[in-house]
Amino acid sequence: MSEYVVDDRVMPRFQVNRDVMVDPEVFAKERDAIFEHSWLYIGHETELKKNDFKTRTVAGRPLIFARDAKNDIRVWINSCPHRGAMLCRERDGNARFMTCFYHGWSFSISGDMVSMPGDDSYGADFARPDLAAPARVDSYRGFVFVSFDPEIVDLKTYLAGATEYLDLVCDQSATQMQVLEGTHEYSIKANWKLLVENSFDGYHAVSTHQRYFEMVLAARGSLDPSALADSRAVDLGNGHAVVAGAPATEGLFGRPLSESGAAERDRRFGDFRARYGDGWVDRMQGNRNLVIFPNLVVIDLVMGVVIRKIDPVTPDYMEVTAWELAPPEEGEELRRQRLDNFLTFWGPGGLASPDDVEALESCQVGYGGRKELGWSDISRGMNKTAASTSDELQMRTWWRRWNELITGEVLPPEEQSALGEMFTAGRRPADASAAAVTR
């Protein structure tokens, strides 16, 4: 039996030991058992044009995320093979070559060595080193992942049921969804797993974000919480999970669109219905909070798609990076209202994100009393055959995978016997346009 997780199906009750949020030894185990053996998000293909690069940190490693002169996506370890200095010290740029400022070794953006000053001081048979890369790099629908485990399963197998929910996001463009310029960056003095939980926790919404819902109520005149009756939490396999709502939930979140913005949105989704059919588009018009194990969050809510990358730094400190994903073909007015809703809710200075930061940091302080109160409860909805978005099946799904990788204990998934017609009938048609599913 795990020392970290209690999964009692008889009571039923699910608990997590609060030591996992503070213990440096657990944090070290996570680095080795989870981040060394998972597919980890680094960026989106649309962030890069030819010879562009961006510097990112993944699993504690400095990386260069680039597109070379042949338009191929490349990922390199951001360290010169000579003495280790960072090759790229800028956040981003456009260059055919990267030269180490320390001793001048130079490499093409394709990773090949170009020159080394005083190379006649090396033997004729000296093997000129190229740049090093993660063991695996792959992408799905523009989302680029790396893994440092050469034996890991292929990306699509790893993503399992999460591909269906990425498709619901990506199919909202007739070409390819695009990451907009600009990045949200902030830090939280709390354990990284708390933000994973919070990212698909529907239970806290009304109590934590009261001022946001007051603003929405003032803008809309009324709110109908009964729309949440068709929402579900779904186990997607491999630790991934989602909470998703029907189209009726659209009216619960964000300020209403203008007449012209709503008309453009309706036209766009009308075109999608001709391509994909009503069932799939009904689901597209709902909302979804998706967590891809261990630390990638994709949220399609409040007229915006958030890509959120969570980076653990210490047991009680994380760094968060977020981007907005949008269809490039939408008009200026709809884009303006999308960004307004996005910033109002998701921005680090918006009406929701600061609430979440405060809640998570409050939890971390509370764990100072873990000797007297040592377990957190994540049991909500265990007595149901169909978990809603305000239940906690999605978190238990994530924790069971975490527990398996950390302790080796395999806990069986919960039965999901009543997903509802929206989730079982609204599937992506097999003959959908191939152009919409290319990587």
pLDDT tens digits for 407-438?
Answer: 999 999 998 766 766 676 788 887 775 444 43
pLDDT of residue 418: 64
| Residue 25 included in any domain | no
SS3 content of the chain, % helix, strand, coil (to 5): 35, 25, 40
pLDDT of residue 304: 83
Residue 292 contacts residue 162 (beta carbons within 8 Å)? yes
**According to DSSP H, which parts of 209-258 are helical?**
210-220
Whether residues 328 and 179 fall in one domain: yes
Residue corresponding to tokens 């009308």: 270
**Containing structural domain, residue 177:** 161-433
Whether residues 170 and 289 fall in one domain: yes
The per-residue pLDDT string of the chain (439 residues; one tens digit each, 9 = 90 and over) reads 789 999 999 999 999 999 999 999 999 999 999 999 999 999 999 999 999 999 999 999 999 999 999 999 999 999 999 999 999 999 999 999 999 999 999 999 999 999 999 988 998 899 999 999 999 999 999 999 999 999 999 999 999 999 999 999 999 999 999 999 999 999 999 999 999 999 999 999 888 988 877 777 777 776 666 556 678 999 999 999 999 987 655 555 677 788 898 899 899 999 999 999 999 999 998 899 999 999 999 999 877 899 999 999 999 999 999 999 999 999 999 999 888 888 888 888 888 899 999 999 999 999 999 999 999 999 999 999 889 999 999 999 999 999 999 999 999 999 876 676 667 678 888 777 544 443 3
Whether residues 353 and 224 fall in one domain: yes
Q: Which of 263, 267, 290, 269 is nearest to 281 (CA)?
A: 269
| Residue 287 included in any domain | yes
Does the N-terminal peptide bond of residue 294 adopt cis geometry, omega within 30 degrees of 0? Answer: yes
* pLDDT tens by residue, 350-365: 888 999 999 999 999 9
Does the N-terminal peptide bond of residue 12 adopt cis geometry, omega within 30 degrees of 0? Answer: yes
Whether residues 288 and 325 fall in one domain: yes
Structure tokens at 435: 């152009």
Mapping DSSP onto H, E and C, the string for 9-22 reads CCCCEEEEEHHHHC
pLDDT of residue 435: 42
Whether residues 132 and 53 fall in one domain: yes
Q: Which of 428, 165, 418, 158 is nearest to 288 (CA)?
A: 165
Q: pTM (2 decimals)?
A: 0.94
> Domain count of the chain?
2
CATH number at residue 109: 2.102.10.10
| Residue 396 included in any domain | yes
Whether residues 125 and 237 fall in one domain: no
d(CA 343, CA 142): 23
| Residue 20 included in any domain | no
| Residue 122 included in any domain | yes
Whether residues 172 and 223 fall in one domain: yes
Residue 59 contacts residue 27 (beta carbons within 8 Å)? no
| Residue 254 included in any domain | yes
| Residue 119 included in any domain | yes
d(CA 286, CA 387): 17
Q: Which of 299, 58, 341, 320 is nearest to 184 (CA)?
A: 320
Whether residues 89 and 127 fall in one domain: yes
pLDDT of residue 438: 38
Whether residues 376 and 428 fall in one domain: yes
Query: Helices (H) and strands (E) in the chain — how many of each?
Result: 12, 21
Whether residues 300 and 389 fall in one domain: yes
Whether residues 92 and 209 fall in one domain: no
From the centroid of its chain, how far is CA 83? Answer: 34
| Residue 438 included in any domain | no
d(CA 30, CA 405): 8
Whether residues 88 and 118 fall in one domain: yes
pLDDT of residue 211: 82
CATH number at residue 179: 3.90.380.10
pLDDT of residue 417: 67
Residue corresponding to tokens 């680029």: 144
From the centroid of its chain, how far is CA 46? Answer: 16
